[in-house]
Amino acid sequence: MSLVEPASQTGQESQGSRASQRLKAELQQKLQYRAEQNLLRQVLQRCGPCQPDSLFGDGQKRVNFCSNDYLGLASHPDVIRAMQVAAEQYGVGSGASHLVTGHCRVHDELAEALADFCGRQKAMLFSTGYMANVGVINALTNPGAPIFQDALNHASLLDGGWLSRGDSRRFAHRDTKDLEAMLIRHHCDSRALIITDGVFSMDGDLAPLPEQVALADKYQATLIVDDAHGIGCLGDTGAGTLSHFGLSASDVPVLVGTLGKSLGTAGAFVAGDEVLIDYLTQFARTHIYTTAMPPPLAAATIAALACLRSETWRQQRLQSLVMRFQQDVANLGLNILPSQTPVQAIVLGEADRAVKASEYLREQGVQVSAIRPPTVPADSARLRVTFSAAHTDEHYERLLDALASLPDDLRG
């Protein structure tokens, strides 16, 4: 027999129902506001592999200029085969966290290959780039210590700072004078962190790393660089933004990279000296308290890294497309931001204009994302074009023709 009277049950259900309805109303209100501002995000379904000619959920094929598969390795036969073979050997999932029984020999092989590629003593793996940034920042932040971040850093870096025990502040984009003023103003006995993207994901521009290295040395701060969009695209060997600037491991002691962009798979890594990686293995909670990367994914990434290093034409092709696009779009009179990376931003201003321009391009058979606030600052909504080494000249001309035909009211 129940010890709770039916009337009490009804009362509890009623209270629970009211709380649920209140939550639902609040969420609906926020969704409605985003919809009215033309800022509501939509899931775009793709059917089939990540390739320039992509079939989408509406049944239409379009040339995809939204992917981060910069070197075209996501569908490389060697990468696919490596994953298939590893799935037969290891199974599909790791089954546990890295520090329990989820860590396999293939994880070590990938970490060793990444460390060698980046010129570091050691590397460690994370399941996502977001988890890598949050985990590293929290592990390296002393309570109350100052954290200085570029204002346009990726959300995962900013969230990592806000979730830490530090005093997180943002300096003006790429402004080393503002950064130094903050370093002076907020100096304390605790070690500071300077955190930046190597390549900024929405503008495609580079951080002024040599100047930031000098400031980190001058004020005894630790510089953390997330080179998600630089690795594979910049530097003589594709080693990224640090290689592009000729910087060493001692200049930038903490390097974060992702595997889901130039390497075409998924996951992330952090590379540094032996002490750093041993420390993060003990204290990076987003590495410790989660299931390890699937072994077949690690095997596929090893194969992708081998392709990156041997098929140098991919990086050369990418750079050729970027240089050509910068000139051609400027000749069309569109407001393209300077960028030497595969991230190319055409700023249109209003969110509504960017959305309509994206829809127009889709009708022309070209898939280009409209990026709006809060991802980018107000009045800087844009078309974000990303190139892949797999794009052919025919793909390129189709994009350029579509941009050239944009109606005047959609050109910004």
Give binding residues as ranges.
41, 129-130, 154, 201, 229, 258, 375
Largest CA distance in the chain: 81
- Write phi, then psi, for 225 (nearest 5 degrees): -120, 125
In whole angstroms, give the CA distance from residue 170 to residue 193.
12
Binding positions for substrate are: 41, 154, 375
In whole angstroms, give the CA distance from residue 184 to residue 187.
5
Contact 236, 200 (CB under 8 A): no
Using alpha carbons, select from 326, 339, 349, 335 the residue that is nearest to residue 396: 326
In whole angstroms, give the CA distance from residue 43 to residue 136.
30
The one-letter amino acid at 146: P
Binding positions for pyridoxal 5'-phosphate are: 129-130, 201, 229, 258
- Nearest 10 degrees: CA dihedral of 146, 152, 157, 163? 60
Q: Sign of the CA dihedral 250, 256, 261, 264? A: positive
In whole angstroms, give the CA distance from residue 364 to residue 341.
25
In whole angstroms, give the CA distance from residue 211 to residue 230.
18
Give strand pairing partners of 193.
147, 222
Using alpha carbons, select from 214, 395, 230 the residue that is nearest to residue 319: 230
